[in-house]
Structures are given as structure tokens and as C-alpha cells.
Amino acid sequence: MALSTPKDYTVSLHYDRRLYGQDIAGSVAHARMLARQGIVSDKDAELIVMGLTAIRQEIEGGAFPWRPELEDIHMNIEARLHERIGDAAGKLHTARSRNDQVATDMRLFAKEAIQETAKGLRALQKALLDQAEANLSVVMPGYTHLQRAQPVLLAHHLLAYFHMLERDVERFRQAYQRADVLPLGSGALAGVPYPIDREFVAGELGFSRISENSMDAVADRDFLLDYHSAAATCMMHLSRLAEEVVLWSSEELGFVRLAEEYTTGSSIMPQKRNPDFAELARGKTGRVYGHLMALLTVLKGLPLTYNRDLQEDKEGFFDTVDTLQATVGAFTGMARTMQVDADRCRRAAEGGLMLATDLADYLARRGVPFRQAHGIVRELCGYALKEGKALKEIGLKEYQRFSPLFQEDVLTITVESSIAARDVPGGTAPKRVRAALLQARKTVEKAFD
Ligand code: ARG
């Protein structure tokens, strides 16, 4: 939007009109309370509520006459109310200020956004669990330093993401609890000189608590920071998953094939199936981090109480909510529709020297101190590399050159025996992973709040 008059600089209507539903709900609850408390007449309150209901319909039907010169959503709705019901409209702002009004709207919006976000995360968790269950016997290499390290179950790997997302859900739950506080009744900053009933308003709007200090209530945007920071961590997790999807779907690894709708072709190379959704998710993480930093910076050094700087809380917040929710949705679809190539995964897990740790454990179980066993197998691996052999191509005689403790049964070490041996809580042994999957299913069935 190009600026034509100085006043344009202060306008927020083009983004805060998104708050119309919250603003109307807050005003309806406030008007009802004013009437209950005898601060305005029942008739005026009724007119106000009817007028606000009609305005909601106008907005939703696209018939509302938006007036940017009135700056924000609050003034637009109030002015329209005046046009519709006359002087009674002026009574709505009794015992209220735009400062406690906008804080209330943002808290209502944040609470809804958190619930939506958590719902999306639960759907993504379910999609990951479905893939894990459908591919329960698939083995793959686990990596450290992006070097093949030890074989694991694909389900175990996917469950790792389930747990990251579970911590995100937990962070959003905490963010919800902190957002769930009603600021209305704080007035401009000092409270209001009317016998209001804040608990009634809280009940009407679904808030569990009311704020305890009027100055804090109008100046506080911590509840937005809570969402931003949970969102930043969640995007970080999704960008790690994105990176794995990029690697897994590459021709080099080929562990998964993405559904066509989650790839794009190249305009010049007909064979390409680019993982653009995963790449965009990785890229969009930056702006979510940016909005967190922006709000921290807006709040830094602000004196109590309300300052117009606080209007800058909105655009970044809306963008973070939209970006995170769209990203979670894209990953849910991508996870549901990707095809696992079990053979490619297994070949990668069986190749090379992946069972080296198991050989060291073999010697350690026969009394060799683990550090020493590690050294012996390291030499053995050097030998295998020099000979160009995979471990499974090495015979017993060759093993025994490195330690006489190697016996016939060393040849029975396989990817399966390696995985089954990690039979500890949190390990990749199939029975542990099956139990973890059951537990995870129970977790996702639980209600969010
Ligand atoms: N549009 C303003 C905001 O978002 C509403 C509150 C205005 N309050 C004021 N004292 N100017 O912060």
C-alpha cells in the first residue's frame, strides 16, 4: 500500500479486519455485562447486540462498508454500529478502552489459532504413525554425521518425529494456558470506575481467568511470544523433516517416492520430480524465526503501558499462524501419500560396514574391554575397505586374523539381529517399537485441552 496521506501510516485495517469475529464477540459480552450490572439499560444493550450481529453478517456477506480512514477494525465496527442503531452505540464503549479491547481480541484469536494448530499437528502425527505401522518391517540405515551408522527400523525413525511434534503440542498447550486470561475490564490502563463483572465476561468469552493487574494486562503481549516461539521450534522440527524428505527422495538414496502432487517438474529436465513442498517448508522457517525476533524487538524497552508500537504485533503473528498451519497441512499430505521403497532401504542398511558396532559388541560380550574391541573392529573395517568387501563377505578365517575370539556364530550377525539386540526402553528392537507405536496412538487420541 503506497502512502498518500500521513494518516495512512497509522492504518491497520487491512490486516486487523481479521479480528472482526473476536471484536464482535468481545463487544457482545461487554454489552451484556453492562446491562446486567445496570450500567446501561437492557434496551440499549439489546440494540447493541442486534446491531453487532447484523454487522457480523454484513462483514461475512461482503457488504460491510470498510473505511480505512477510521484506522482499525474496532473503530470501523463502532462507527458502523452508530450508523445502524444511533446514539445507543456510543454506550458500548462505557467502561472499556481500545487498549483492553484489542488485547482481548488478540487473546481470543491466539486461543483459536493454538487449537487449530494443535489439531493440525495431531493430524500430522497420525499420518506419521500410519506410515510407521504400514512399514513396520522396513529396515534402513540410521545416520550420524550423515554417515551410515547403525541399522534401525524406519518406524523408529518416524517415531522420532512423532516425539518432536509431541513436545510442540505440549508447548502450544502451555501457550494456550497463558493466552487464556481476560484483559477486558482493565480500561485504558488503570481499571474502570464502574461496577463491572469481569468474571461474567470471562465466562461469556470462554476465558478461564481474569488478568490481575490492569497495567500489565494492556501492555502484555507475552502470549503472542509464546506462540511465536513454539511455532519457531515447530518449524525447526519440520525443516529437519523437510531435509530428510529431500534426501530420502533423491535419486542417490531413493528411500521414498513422493506423490506427484507434492513435487513439481522442471521446465527443462523432463525426468525431474523436485521436492518443492519440503524445500519451501525449510525456507519458510526463516520468516517464522524472523517474526519472533521482530516482536521481541517491538516489546523491548517499551514503557508501561499501552504504546502504539503494540499495533505491530499483528502482521507477523498472522503470518506465522498462516505459515505454520499451511506447512503442517502440507506435511500431513506428503507423509500420507509418500511411498516407501523397502528394498532400497534394506540394501542401504545391509551394505558396507553398518554392523561394525555389533562386531565390537560381540567381542565385548566375550570379555574384551569395549574400547579395545572397538580398536580391533576398526582394523577389521580397514581391511574390508582395502579388500573392497562388505562385512558379510568376510569369512571366519579372516575374522580370526583380528581376534581368536571370533567364532562361527559371528557370521549370524545380521541387520535383523542388530536391530533386535537394541532391546532397551527407547531402542529400535521391533518389540520396543511396536510398544512405542501403541503408546503414541494413545497419546494422539487424547484431547488437546
Ligand atoms: N489498532 C490498535 C492496536 O492494534 C488498537 C488500540 C489503539 N489504542 C490506542 N490507544 N490508540 O494496537
Report pTM.
0.95
pLDDT at site 109: 98
The reported pLDDT for the residue numbered 90 is: 97
Supply the residue whose CA is at minimum distance from atom 11 of ligand 1: 308
Residue-wise burial string across 118-141, b where 16 or more C-beta atoms lie within 10 A, e elsewhere: bebbbbbbbbbbebbeebeebbbb
Cα of 315 to ligand 1 centre, how many Å? 14
Phi, psi of 150 (to 5 degrees): -145, 150
CA atoms of 81 and 92, how far apart (whole Å): 10
Q: How far apart are the C-alpha atoms of 287 and 307, rounded to whole Å?
A: 25
Give 366-422 pLDDT, tens digit per residue.
999 999 999 999 999 999 999 998 888 899 999 999 999 999 999 999 999 999 999
Instruction: Please compute the mean of the pLDDT values over residues 260-281 and round it to a whole number.
Output: 86
Segment 326-352 mean pLDDT? 95
pLDDT of residue 89: 98
| CA 343 to ligand 1 centroid distance, Å | 60
Are 9-94 and 349-444 the same fold in CATH? Answer: no
Grid coordinates representing 250 are 533423491
Q: What is the pLDDT of residue 3?
A: 60
40/33 Cα distance (integer angstroms): 9
Query: Which residue type occupies 279?
Result: E
pLDDT digits (tens, 9 = 90+) for 183-193: 999 999 999 99
Ligand 1 pocket test, candidate residues 8, 13, 23, 102, most atoms within 8 A of CB: 102
Specify whether 266 is catalytic.
Answer: yes
Cβ < 6 Å from ligand 1: which residues?
Answer: 12, 16, 72, 98-99, 102, 306, 308, 310-311
Report the residue among 99, 186, 224 best suited for mutation to probe ligand 1: largest number of ligand atoms under 8 A from its CB. 99
Mean pLDDT of the chain: 96
Percent of the chain with pLDDT over 70: 99
With cut-offs at 50, 70 and 90, classify the pLDDT of residue 7: confident
How far does residue 223's CA lie from ligand 1's centre (Å)?
17
Dihedral (CA of 324, 325, 326, 332) sign: positive
Residue 73 CA: which ligand 1 atom is closest? 1
- Give the β-pairing of 139-144 and 147-153: antiparallel
Ligand 1: residue whose CA is nearest its atom 3:
311
Q: What is the pLDDT of residues 107-139, one digit of tens each?
A: 999 999 999 999 999 999 999 999 999 999 999
Let me know: does 97 contact 105? Beta carbons within 8 Å: no
pLDDT tens-digit readout, 272-327 = 789 999 999 999 999 999 999 999 999 999 999 999 999 999 999 999 999 999 99
> For atom 4 of ligand 1, which residue has the closest CA?
311
- Topology annotation, domain 349-444: Ribonucleotide Reductase Protein R1; domain 1 (1.10.40)
Name the residue among 192, 148, 205 with its Cα closest to residue 351.
148
Catalytic entry in 145, 156, 214, 228: 145
Pocket test for ligand 1, best of 98, 100, 302 (most atoms within 8 A of CB): 98
**Residue 415: its pLDDT value, please?**
95
**What's the CA-to-centroid distance between 311 and ligand 1, angstroms?**
6
Cell of 18: 481479521
* pLDDT at residue 1, rounded to an integer: 55
CB under 8 Å to 248, separation ≥6 — which residues?
A: 254, 255, 256
Gap from CA of 38 to ligand 1 centroid (Å): 28
Ligand 1 atom, smallest distance to 314 CA: 4
- pLDDT tens string 54-86: 999 999 999 999 999 999 999 999 999 999 999
What is 99-136+145-347's CATH number? 1.20.200.10
Residue 263, helix vs strand vs coil: coil
- Catalytic site residue from 41, 137, 250, 266: 266
The residues spanned by each domain of the chain are: 9-94, 99-136+145-347, 349-444
Q: Which three cell numbers mark 260?
A: 506427484
Task: Measure 235 CA to ligand 1 centroid, in angstroms.
Answer: 30
Range 9-94 has CATH code 1.10.275.10: yes
- State yes or no: pLDDT of 202 exceeds 90: yes
Which residue has its alpha carbon closest to ligand 1 atom 12?
Answer: 311
Distance CA 322, CA 94 (A): 34
- What's the pLDDT band for 94 if we cut at 50, 70, 90? very high
What is the percent of the chain with per-residue pLDDT over 90, rounded to a whole number?
Answer: 93
Look at residue 32 and tell me whether its pLDDT is greater than 70. Answer: yes
27 given a catalytic annotation: no
